[in-house]
Amino acid sequence: MTTLKMEHPAASGADSVDLSALAADPAALRAALAEADPATLMLVLVQLTGDHGLLERARPHITGPMNYHETMPDDLRAEIRTRLADTLLDYARTGDPLPPLPEGDFLQEMLSTAVGEHVSADYTAMMREDLEAAQPDPRGLIWRHRPEPAALEHFPVVIIGAGMSGVCAAIRLGQAGIPFTIIEKNAAVGGSWYENFYPGCGVDTPNHFYSYSFELNHEWSHFFAKREELWTYFERATDKYGVREHIRFETEVSSATYDSASGTWDVATRDASGAVTHLKARAVISAVGVLNRPKLPDIEGRETFAGTAVHTAQWQEGLDLKGKRVVMVGTGASGQQVGPTIAPDVAKLTILQRSPHWVVPNPNYFAEVSEGMKWVLAHVPFFARWYRFQLFWAFADGLHASLQVDPAWDDGGKSINQVNARHRQFMERFLQSKLAGREDLIAKCTPSYPPYGKRILVDNNWYEMLQRPNVDLLTGGIAKIVPEGVVMADGTLVEADVIIYATGFQASKMLSPMTITGEGGRDLHKVWGPDDATAYIGTMVPGFPNFFMLMGPNTGLAHGGNVIFITECQMRLILTALREVLETGAKAIDVTPEAHDAYVADVDERHARMVWTHKGLTNWYRNEAGRVFALLPYRLVDYWKMTKTFKPEDFSLR
């Protein structure tokens, strides 16, 4: 048997492929192709050969973007693998240049065939950009008139936070030659993926898509990676791009104050020893995110509990739950990862649920990536990009239409339009099949609100866990907490050794507890009020020149995509804004109040027609007044276009 030589790089920035690795061991190539997704292999072969007929033959057997949507007959699969191996070996022998991505209608056909549905021309440019992986990267800063080195040296930028978005910002600034310093409150990079290490912590977006577009990783062990592997990915990127030497760890930003006369920001920091330092910056990029300040429920007696109490985002290293009586408060994203992970080990798990979530299955959620698939991702040209496109489409805008309220649709508030109703029926059938014979659990687990009103969760064997003999699901409400455990609203005492709070974050308090002071002494938190953050394209606020936010107001996602995509879009806008300052010699750039207000008005008007403002629905996406402050109402392609197209009339130079 031929063994695969797994000497490929863990990650690839530029997508160059050394075909000599294929020619060195043809048998290994053929063995690896046997483990890779046939639909994606077909796309590679079509790009290499221009075989339109193959595209037509494969099309009827591809009904969706995921590997489990492909049903090609065995003889067609075998033909694709054999022809692709022969074609690649021919290229390796001749040294001929590989063909570029097709143009026009042919590319459109490839895109549509790849995902089993029509891909409109509206998406072509965005998808082409990701598929081509061109150099220089159009998502980075491309100078029109590169400033002199001295001008760049005197334009220091402070980045607040070294999580996913902060590291991305640093990499892009470094590539542009703009000096930067990152202030990071933790002892390591990674943000949420460093702070969260509760049992079962992982991603619910396929990680071959949940990665920087410029830093693909071919070595993921699973299609949906767990926390340790994700954190390691950001650690590697930090080192590969020389970011670590620019980070001040265990240091927090207490304030940032703008000086109009000099066009600089004074950034006050405090390190672990309590020492205060002031940094001068020409620009500040906040990359602190919104899901990093744990929220504990306001329950009478919470501090009196005699056992161990822990929030999922503040997990205690070494916490041993084996044989313990555990109460878990909350059934959202973290709760549904923790519960099934710890249930086999605890003596008793009592789950306290305020409202249920919709849960969907994914056949790949627990699946490992085979060694052959990893090899193909690393060595076969175009494969990783086509595979990423399929995942991109699967988790992009397909759900967007189902989020729009149809005023003429009325089924008692269970759904908001016909498509949404079909999704509800699918999810109901799934949970009913999993909980067959348990009418009590079916009643407790069926949400009353429409699908997507709250975050949709990927099934982590949640329903199987609920049927374990040592697991109870209670929905009656909490009266108080006492030293012995939790007293329910009906007076029942649930005794506990450990209480786990899977209760989310203080998402509405953006940029807290920092003080951000702009022009004329303007305090950003007073501008926003206690919980009503707004920003132009989620990135800039008028009166705060050269102050930018990553993952700011109305940039969260609840219909698809991933936050890395949003971050890269925002960095493109930020880099373009900084280019305007540097190339013109201006002090700073600011968004106009008119552009900001028009954008926010459009966001609010769109949200008024979407599921998250559904009557009677509560979620963390909305503030006390009911305004959706957290989520993006647009399609991903719309946001990509917004951040790609710089509108000079929306800005003023100082």
CB 452 within 8 A of CB 558: yes
Do 43 and 164 share a domain, yes or no?
A: no
Domain containing residue 251: CATH number: 3.50.50.60
Domain that holds residue 323: 302-358+452-501
Query: What are the Cα distances from residue 649, in Å, to 573, 588, 601?
Result: 14, 15, 18
Report the 3 state secondary structure along 21-60: HHHHCHHHHHHHHCCCCHHHHHHHHHHHHCCHHHHHHHHH
Q: Are residues 382 and 323 in the same domain?
A: no
Which is nearest to 631 in space by CA: 507, 528, 517, 509? 507
Q: Please report the DSSP string for 474-528 in residue order.
A: E-S-EEEEETTEEEETTS-EEE-SEEEE---B-TTSTTTT-EEE-GGG-BHHHHH
Report which DSSP code applies to 396: S
Q: Does residue 215 lie within any of the structural domains?
A: no
How far is residue 247's CA from residue 154's CA, in Å, rounded to a whole number?
19
- Bond preceding residue 513 cis, omega within 30 of 0: yes
Do 251 and 313 reside in the same domain of the chain?
no
Token pair of 17, please?
Answer: 């492929």
**Are residues 112 and 119 in contact, defined by beta-carbon separation less than 8 angstroms?**
yes
Distance from chain centroid for Cα 626? 24
- Does residue 602 share a domain with residue 488? no
Q: Are 269 and 254 in contact (CB under 8 A)?
A: yes
Q: Please give the angle made by the CA atoms of 565, 562 and 533, to the nearest 5 degrees.
A: 85
pLDDT for 344 equals 99
Q: Considering the domain boundaries, does residue 407 fall inside one?
A: no
* Alpha-carbon gap, residue 147 to 152, rounded angstroms: 7
Ramachandran region of residue 263, left (φ > 0), alpha (ψ -120 to 50) or beta? left
Structural domain count, the chain: 3
Signed CA dihedral, 514, 516, 521, 523: sign only? negative
Domain membership flag for residue 147: no
pLDDT digit string, tens, across residues 416-428: 999 999 999 999 9
Three-state DSSP at 143 gives coil
In a domain, 113, yes or no: yes
The CA-CA-CA angle for residues 180, 185, 186, to 5°, reads 110
Please give the Cα distance from 30 to 559 (Å, whole number): 38
Model pTM?
0.96
Indicate whether 31 and 123 sit together in one domain.
Answer: yes
Residues 32, 180 share a domain: no
Contact indicator for 111, 388 with CB cutoff of 8 Å: no
Q: How many Å apart are CA 241 and CA 159, to the nearest integer? A: 16
Q: Check whether residue 70 and residue 171 sit in a common domain.
A: no
Would you state the torsion angle of the CA atoms of residues 292, 389, 117, 103, taken in this order, to the nearest 10 degrees? 140
Nearest-10 crossing angle of helices 371-379, 26-33: 110
Q: Which tens digit of pLDDT belongs to each residue from 149-182? A: 999 999 999 999 999 999 999 999 999 999 999 9
- Asked whether residue 211 is assigned to any structural domain, the reply reads no
Residue 3 included in any domain: no
From the first residue on, what is the mean pLDDT of each consecutive set of 10 residues in the chain (654 residues)?
35 63 91 98 99 98 97 98 98 94 97 98 97 91 95 98 99 98 99 98 96 97 98 99 99 99 98 98 97 94 99 97 99 98 99 98 98 97 98 95 96 96 98 98 98 96 99 98 99 99 95 98 98 98 99 95 96 99 98 99 98 91 96 98 98 97
The residue to which tokens 């001068």 are assigned: 280
- pLDDT score of 47: 98
184 close to 245: Cβ distance less than 8 angstroms: no
Residue 337 maps to a domain:
yes
C-beta separation of 417 from 402 below 8 A: yes
Check whether residue 348 and residue 471 sit in a common domain. yes
Same domain, residue pair 167 and 47: no
Q: Write out 637-652 in H/E/C secondary structure.
A: HHHHHHHHCCCHHHEE
Same domain, 288 and 308: no
- What are the helix (H) ranges across 328-382? 333-342, 371-379
**Residue 133: its pLDDT value, please?**
86
Residues 24 and 63 in one domain: yes
19 and 71 share one domain: yes
Asked, for residue 472, whether it belongs to a domain, the answer is yes
> Residue 116 has what pLDDT?
98
